[in-house]
């Protein structure tokens, strides 16, 4: 569904992504793990053309979407749940969700938008209870639900998620990851960036490890969970645990 | 002061207050999508009056006004494309300075196209001596026009921002423009539209008050300052509250004339600005909750 070849991007003269190649097949959950500042957010922002590509190309559903305007990717069926939620804080929960379906409304597909809204309320009943509350006053977990819901409102086939577990209590993180699995079971393809390597590898099919702008490792989720380098760097095991 | 005099002051205050409100509404709309205070807003009011005056010599009044509003809106959109879009990368403060430059440009262009003469659009209904009786006070029907147009604009804007998709998308741009892009909203078009809307509303204001307060190529500067005070008074980012704040300032100025020498009129507004900035920076009607969720 998504194919990235030799992608290079950065900010002004600062080159962050140094030739990233990856692919995500339909129906997969693929994760990218990596330390702070590795360039994971930059990668997702480059896929969505918020950051401009300086080399390589991005192919989504067989169409070249390198450096297109961000609304085109949404229309083609790929939505991003950005890092740090990025809600419209002084707008209501419902308004936040509605705006996620902006491209649908523009194409006069009101019925589809309404359907998506109902589905999101079924998935996150608390959002329906809070629909008139200002998004900025929600708890962190609820805000993440709005962020996910807003991305789903356009009815995407593929969801890009940037650290959805950030700043959330372990129990809530579990809920969020369960939601991710549910979405996959409903046929969505998911590319998820995480620091919480253990939790995400448990639900992912495959994973990549990113370090200073390059993907240094690739494998099935089980392989990565077993990999000693990954264990040491991202799973926080004691060194002793795996030298024995 | 007799009851009738009080009413006269009230209506005078409303008229002046409405024009401040038109400027402040424009500030707020552009501020909302860009964070910029567009100090050329007063010039849009001037252009509305000037252009409609020119066209009204060739056609009936109302089509002339519509043309003036459309032309001014187009000028607003053009300003955004030519100046603002290119320079958006600068700081907000830098952009505000740019808008001051634009205001000078528009003023000089107006001086060149027209001249330094004071013009006035003819009264919408009746003439300058016709009057209607309201609660025993005799006022010009034009005052009712001003009031009516102001109310329609307020109602229209409230509906637009609250219930239409484009209005909500414009608010989304102001709250988080990157997130708006991710929702597929074309933020550039929204910013452009906000300039057109502000310019058009300013021009309409310039037309309805022109018969009462006249139009002059240099009137924009004073309006820009008064409108700014009103925008702060109402709470930046809230176009509806700006109208209430505009009326309050208009009334205060109007009544101040009855007790203080005319020259002190402007002092009143500056004092109000200082008091508000110290006592309630989120504005009279600004909600603490909402403003705490915004950048500034
Ligand atoms: N807008 C920006 N301008 C300049 N440099 C930036 C910008 N955003 C990010 N960077 C730099 O790019 C590098 C990669 O940042 P990025 O946010 O992609 O990392 P990340 O892997 O998402 O980190 P984290 O796990 O902390 O979210 C960092 O060194 C950062 O300083
Ligand atoms: Mg990140």
Domains of chain B and CATH, by start: 3-292 (1.10.3470)
At B210 the pLDDT is 93
Domain boundary among A136, A155, A174: A155
Q: Which residues of B touch A103 (CB under 8 A)?
A: 183-184
Give CA–CA dist A53/A45, Å, rounded.
10
- Which of A91, A108, A162 to mutate to test binding with chain B, by most B CBs within 10 Å of its CB? A91
Give CA–CA dist B41/B23, Å, rounded.
6
pLDDT at A238 over 80: no
- Which of B172, B174, B183 to mutate to test binding with chain A, by most A CBs within 10 Å of its CB? B183
Residue pLDDT, tens place only, B272-294: 778 877 877 777 766 555 555 45
Chain centroid offset of residue B159 CA: 18
Judgement on whether residues A151 and A162 belong to the same structural domain of the protein: no
Ligand 1 proximity of A119 Cβ (cutoff 6 Å) = no
Give CA–CA dist B8/B140, Å, rounded.
10
* A35 domain-assigned: yes
Using CA atoms, how far residue B101 sits from B39, B90, B106, in Å, is: 9, 15, 9
Domain boundary among A155, A181, A208: A155
Judgement on whether residues A165 and A229 belong to the same structural domain of the protein: yes
Domain boundary among A128, A155, A182: A155
At B138 the pLDDT is 82
- Is the CB of residue B286 less than 8 Å from the CB of residue B241? yes
Comparing B113 with B296, the larger pLDDT belongs to: B113
Of A71, A98, A136, the CB nearest to B168: A98
* A32 domain-assigned: yes
Give CA–CA dist A44/A32, Å, rounded.
10
- Is the CB of residue A147 less than 8 Å from the CB of residue A86? yes
Judgement on whether residues A57 and A177 belong to the same structural domain of the protein: yes
Burial class (CB in 10 A: 0-12, 13-18, 19+), A63: exposed
Judgement on whether residues A6 and A108 belong to the same structural domain of the protein: no
Least confident of B174-178, B213-217, B292-296: B292-296
pLDDT at A241 over 80: no
pLDDT at B195 over 90: yes
Which CATH number do you get for residue A184?
3.40.50.300
- Is the CB of residue A13 less than 8 Å from the CB of residue A57? no
Burial class (CB in 10 A: 0-12, 13-18, 19+), A198: middle
Chain centroid offset of residue A74 CA: 13
* A105 domain-assigned: yes
Give CA–CA dist A44/A39, Å, rounded.
9
Give the structural domain span for A198.
2-77+158-243
Task: For ligand 1, atom 22, name the residue with the nearest CA.
Answer: A41
pLDDT at A240 over 60: no
At B287 the pLDDT is 58
Residue pLDDT, tens place only, A8-46: 999 988 999 999 999 999 999 999 999 889 999 999 999
Give counts: helices (H), strands (E), chain A: 12, 10
| H or E element in which residue A183 lies | helix A170-185
| H or E element in which residue B132 lies | strand B132-134
Index of the ligand 1 atom closest to the CA of residue A40: 21
* Residue found under tokens 């910029």: B36
Q: How many C-beta atoms lie closer than 10 Å to residue B96's C-beta?
A: 15
**Total domains in the fold of chain A:** 2
* A121 domain-assigned: yes
Judgement on whether residues A64 and A164 belong to the same structural domain of the protein: yes
At residue A163, the 3 state secondary structure works out as coil
Task: Please give the average per-residue pLDDT across B103-120, as a whole number.
Answer: 94
Q: Which ligand is nearest to the CA of B178?
A: 1
- Is the CB of residue B207 less than 8 Å from the CB of residue B52? yes
Cβ of A50 under 8 Å from any chain B Cβ?
A: yes
Burial class (CB in 10 A: 0-12, 13-18, 19+), A108: exposed
Give CA–CA dist B253/A127, Å, rounded.
48
Q: Return mean pLDDT, chain B.
A: 88
Give CA–CA dist B231/B248, Å, rounded.
12
Judgement on whether residues A168 and A63 belong to the same structural domain of the protein: yes
Judgement on whether residues A66 and A100 belong to the same structural domain of the protein: no
Ligand 1 proximity of A39 Cβ (cutoff 6 Å) = yes
A141 pLDDT band, cuts 50/70/90, is very high
Ligand 1 proximity of A13 Cβ (cutoff 6 Å) = no
B295 pLDDT band, cuts 50/70/90, is very low
At residue A24, the 3 state secondary structure works out as strand
Judgement on whether residues A167 and A151 belong to the same structural domain of the protein: no
* A179 domain-assigned: yes
At B277 the pLDDT is 78
Judgement on whether residues A65 and A166 belong to the same structural domain of the protein: yes
pLDDT at A234 over 80: no
Judgement on whether residues A146 and A166 belong to the same structural domain of the protein: no
Q: Which residues of A touch B166 (CB under 8 A)?
A: none
Alpha helices in chain B (DSSP H): 3-34, 41-55, 61-79, 85-87, 92-113, 141-163, 165-175, 177-182, 187-213, 220-234, 239-259, 265-279, 288-292
Determine if the pTM surpasses 0.90.
no
At B288 the pLDDT is 54
Backbone angles phi, psi at B137, to 5 degrees: -95, 145
pLDDT at A239 over 60: no
Residue of B95, B90, B91 lying closest to B30 (CA atoms): B95
- Which of B31, B168, B182, B185 to mutate to test binding with chain A, by most A CBs within 10 Å of its CB? B182
B6 pLDDT band, cuts 50/70/90, is confident
Residue pLDDT, tens place only, B55-105: 999 999 999 999 999 999 999 999 999 999 888 777 878 888 899 999 999
At B5 the pLDDT is 83
Q: Return mean pLDDT, chain A.
A: 92
At A244 the pLDDT is 47
Give CA–CA dist A173/A187, Å, rounded.
21
Q: Calculate helix-pair angle for A110-123, A140-152, nearest 10 degrees.
A: 150
Structure tokens at B163: 């219930």
* A213 domain-assigned: yes
- Determine, for residues B184 and A89 on separate chains, whether the beta-carbon distance falls below 8 Å: no
* A36 domain-assigned: yes
- Percent of all residues in chain A with a pLDDT value above 70, rounded to a whole number: 96
Judgement on whether residues A67 and A180 belong to the same structural domain of the protein: yes
At B290 the pLDDT is 54
pLDDT at B184 over 60: yes
Q: Which residues contact B229 (CB under 8 A, 6 or more apart)?
A: B20, B249, B269, B270, B272, B273
B/e letters for B6-18, b = 16+ CB within 10 Å, e = fewer, are ebbbbbbbbbbbb
* A82 domain-assigned: no
B137 pLDDT band, cuts 50/70/90, is confident
Residue of B214, B171, B227, B186 lying closest to B40 (CA atoms): B227
User: How many CA atoms, within 13 angstroms, populate the side-chain half-sphere of residue A52?
Assistant: 5
Cβ of B180 under 8 Å from any chain A Cβ?
A: yes
pLDDT at B296 over 60: no
The Cα of B77 is separated from the nearest Cα of chain A by a number of Å equal to 21
Per the DSSP assignment, residues forming a β-bridge with A232 are none
Judgement on whether residues A166 and A72 belong to the same structural domain of the protein: yes
Of A50, A99, A105, the CB nearest to B172: A99
- Determine, for residues B184 and A102 on separate chains, whether the beta-carbon distance falls below 8 Å: yes
């Amino acid at each position: 569904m998504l194919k990235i070849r030799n992608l290079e991007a950065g900010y002004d003269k600062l080159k962050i992504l140094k030739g990233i190649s990856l692919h995500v097949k339909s129906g997969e959950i693929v994760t990218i793990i990596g330390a702070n500042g590795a360039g994971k957010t930059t990668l997702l922002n480059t896929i969505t053309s918020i950051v401009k590509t300086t080399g390589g190309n991005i192919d989504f559903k067989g169409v070249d979407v390198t450096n297109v305007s961000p609304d085109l990717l949404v229309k083609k069926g790929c939505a991003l749940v950005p890092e740090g939620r990025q809600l419209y804080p002084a707008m209501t929960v419902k308004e936040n969700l509605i705006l996620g379906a902006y491209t649908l409304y523009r194409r006069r597909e009101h019925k589809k938008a309404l359907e998506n809204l109902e589905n999101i309320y079924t998935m996150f009943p608390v959002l329906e209870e809070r629909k008139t509350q200002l998004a900025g006053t929600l708890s962190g977990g609820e805000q993440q639900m709005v962020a996910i819901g807003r991305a789903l409102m356009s009815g995407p086939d593929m969801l890009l998620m940037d650290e959805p577990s950030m700043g959330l209590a372990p129990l809530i993180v579990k809920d969020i990851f369960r939601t991710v699995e549910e979405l996959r079971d409903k046929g969505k393809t998911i590319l998820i960036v995480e620091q919480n390597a253990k939790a995400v590898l448990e639900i992912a099919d495959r994973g990549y490890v990113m370090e200073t702008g390059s993907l240094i490792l690739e494998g099935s989720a089980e392989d990565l969970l077993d990999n000693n380098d990954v264990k040491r760097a991202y799973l926080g095991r004691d060194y002793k645990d795996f030298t024995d | 002061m007799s009851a009738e005099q009080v009413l006269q002051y009230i209506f005078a205050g409303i008229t002046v207050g409405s024009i401040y409100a038109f400027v402040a509404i424009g500030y707020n709309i552009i501020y909302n999508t860009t964070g910029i205070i567009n100090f050329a807003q007063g010039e849009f009011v001037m252009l509305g009056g000037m252009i409609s005056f020119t066209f009204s010599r060739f056609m009936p009044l109302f089509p002339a006004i519509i043309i003036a509003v459309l032309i001014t809106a187009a000028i607003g959109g053009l300003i955004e494309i030519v100046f603002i879009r290119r320079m958006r990368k600068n700081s907000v403060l830098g952009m505000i300075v740019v808008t001051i430059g634009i205001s000078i440009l528009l003023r000089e262009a107006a001086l060149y196209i027209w001249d330094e003469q004071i013009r006035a659009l003819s009264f919408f209904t009746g003439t300058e001596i016709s009057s209607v009786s309201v609660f025993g006070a005799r006022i010009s029907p034009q005052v009712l026009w001003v009031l009516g147009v102001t109310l329609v604009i307020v109602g229209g804007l409230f509906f637009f921002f609250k219930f239409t998709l484009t209005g909500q998308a414009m608010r989304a741009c102001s709250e988080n423009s990157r997130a708006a892009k991710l929702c597929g909203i074309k933020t550039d078009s929204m910013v452009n539209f906000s300039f057109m809307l502000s310019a058009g509303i300013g021009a309409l204001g310039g037309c309805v008050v022109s018969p009462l307060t006249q139009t002059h190529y240099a009137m924009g500067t004073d309006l820009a300052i008064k409108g700014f005070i009103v925008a702060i008074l109402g709470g930046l980012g809230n176009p509806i509250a700006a109208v209430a704040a505009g009326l309050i300032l208009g009334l205060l100025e109007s009544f101040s004339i009855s007790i203080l020498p005319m020259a002190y009129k402007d002092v009143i507004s500056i004092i109000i600005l200082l008091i508000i900035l110290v006592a309630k920076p989120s504005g009279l009607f600004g909600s603490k909750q909402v403003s705490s969720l915004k950048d500034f």
